[in-house]
Amino acid sequence: KKKIAIMTSGGDAPGMNATVRACVRMAIHMGCDAYCVYEGYDGLVRGGDLIRRMEWHDVRGWLSEGGTLIGTARCMAFFERAGRLKAAKNMILNGIDALIICGGDGSLTGADRFRSEWPELLEELISTGQLKKEQVNQYRHLNIVGLVGSIDNDLSGTDATIGCYSALARICYAVDLIEATASSHSRAFVVEVMGRHCGWLALMAGVATGADFIFIPEKPREDNWREEMCGIIHEHRKRGKRKTIVIIAEGALDRQGNKITPEMVKDLLADKNGLALDTRITTLGHVQRGGTAVAYDRMLATLQGVEAVKAVLEATPETPTCFIAVTENKITRKPLMEAVKDTKEVAKAIERQDFELAMSLRDAE
């Protein structure tokens, strides 16, 4: 009987529990034993009761739960070979040779490395006497499948990562709340959203809330960003708009690669010799990442979880590590490392060309 383990890794994202539920139940449905690795890669390295057999009913009610109920971690030990050796040993002791990982590109790259090192790790476990040859023989090949769980929507090759639409919905809801009070006092708000390297959330929130101005890492602002922003906001105010919303991603930059901070933007909006707007900063922080998953993320997680188990069962030693994507509304399998490479080269948030136009529709709502 095939034993498939499921784990979540990196920053949590709404929909991760739905993913685990789908994988566990699909694995059981396909006649396999399902396991969960608790606490991300840390659980693989530490083993023991962090690797647990799961039954159908163990994931009951998980579809809508926020966060990840099996825990996650940014595990340092797994970056070291010694950690990966322990992880390999724990997998074999539990009879597991297939792993489904739901995480961001860093977590998935770690998984690809683990798979390519697997034969060497097995040899080392035998040569150091930690495991016997007979124990290892049936686990010569490691199957790994990735599912992209991240609120940032930062992986190329897939239209949406699990969790991004929940975070976007949360941001839009928060901006709606802020707008009511902003409008009452005729104030400006600088709203900081997550996205250290990827501005998808800031960009789409800007489009979806009709924000006056946005800052994203992929489109460093020109030297004249101050004049540009103040000019646009001045125009909106002249037309009678009583609220000003500027959305800034954590990783916002200018052309020189200097960080643009919410404080800088606030000082500019409040400048007595300029717009002189009564301005506040709201940092949305981790409320963006918590809470239940929206319908789209539950659906995506479930459909992709089903596909991930199928991919595990169909993989051969020759198939490169794949991840499950959604492209033009279809669930597909794609080579993982190509997507990771493209992510480094393409600014995914601005692949969608129409955003400049979409942003230009905003005005005095």
Which stretches of the chain bind ligand F6P, using CB under 6 A?
Answer: 11, 150-152, 194-196, 250, 289
Angle, CA 156 vertex, CA 150 and CA 159 arms, to 5°? 70
Q: Which residues pair with 254 in a beta bridge?
A: 221
- To the question of whether residue 105 is assigned a binding role by annotation, the answer is yes
Task: Give the sign of the dihedral formed by CA 335, CA 337, CA 340, CA 342.
Answer: negative
Work out how close the CB of 73 gets to ligand F6P at its nearest, in angstroms, rounded to a whole number. Answer: 10
Catalytic residue among 12, 97, 152, 154: 152
Report the nearest approach of ligand F6P to the CB of residue 168 (Å). Answer: 12
Q: Does the annotation list 76 as a binding residue?
A: no
Own/partner pairs for 359-364, CB < 8 Å, 24+ apart? 359/206, 359/207, 359/214, 361/210, 362/206, 362/210, 362/211, 362/212, 362/236, 363/210, 363/236, 363/239, 363/241, 364/236, 364/239, 364/240, 364/241
CB of 152 to ligand F6P, least distance (A): 5
Question: Does 45 belong to an annotated binding site?
Answer: no
Cβ-count burial of 295 within 10 angstroms (0-12 exposed, 13-18 middle, 19+ buried)? Answer: exposed
The single-letter DSSP state of residue 129 is T
Assigned token pair, 152? 């940032």
Q: Is 286 annotated as a binding residue?
A: yes
Measured over the CA atoms of residue 39, residue 44, residue 50 and residue 55, the dihedral's sign is positive
Nearest approach, Cβ of 76 to ligand F6P (angstroms)? 14
User: Is 231 annotated as a binding-site member?
Assistant: no
The Cα 239–Cα 235 span in angstroms is: 6
8 A C-beta contact, residue 212 and residue 362: yes
Report whether 166 belongs to an annotated binding site. no
Comparing every residue's Cβ against ligand F6P, the nearest one is 11
Give the shortest CB-356-to-ligand F6P separation in angstroms.
23
Nearer to ligand F6P, 132 or 196 (CB): 196
The answer to whether 12 is a known catalytic residue is no
d(CA 62, CA 67): 10
Task: Name the residue nearer to ligand F6P (CB basis): 8 or 150.
Answer: 150
287 is annotated as contributing to ligand binding: yes
Alpha-carbon torsion (299, 303, 306, 307), positive or negative = negative
**DSSP state, residue 221:** B
Residue placing its CB nearer to ligand F6P in the complex, 142 or 340:
340
Q: Which of 39, 75, 38, 64 is nearest to 53 (CA)?
A: 38
Cβ closest to ligand F6P, residue 99 vs residue 194:
194
Q: Toward ligand F6P, which CB reaches closer, 60 or 196? A: 196
Q: What is the rounded CA–CA span in Å between residue 153 and residue 167?
A: 10
Shortest spacing between CB 215 and ligand F6P, in angstroms: 14
CB closer to ligand F6P, 41 vs 139: 41
Q: How far is the CB of 150 from ligand F6P (least distance, A)?
A: 5
- 289 in a labelled binding site: yes
Angle at 233 between CA 232 and CA 237, to 5 degrees: 120
In angstroms, the CA 99 to CA 43 distance is 13
Nearest CB to ligand F6P, comparing residues 8 and 279: 8
The CA radius of gyration of the chain, in Å to the nearest whole number, is: 23
Binding residues for ATP: 11, 74-75, 104-107
Binding residues for Mg(2+): 105
What is the set of active-site residues? 152
Binding residues: 11, 74-75, 104-107, 150-152, 187, 194-196, 250, 280, 286-289
Binding residues for substrate: 150-152, 187, 194-196, 250, 280, 286-289
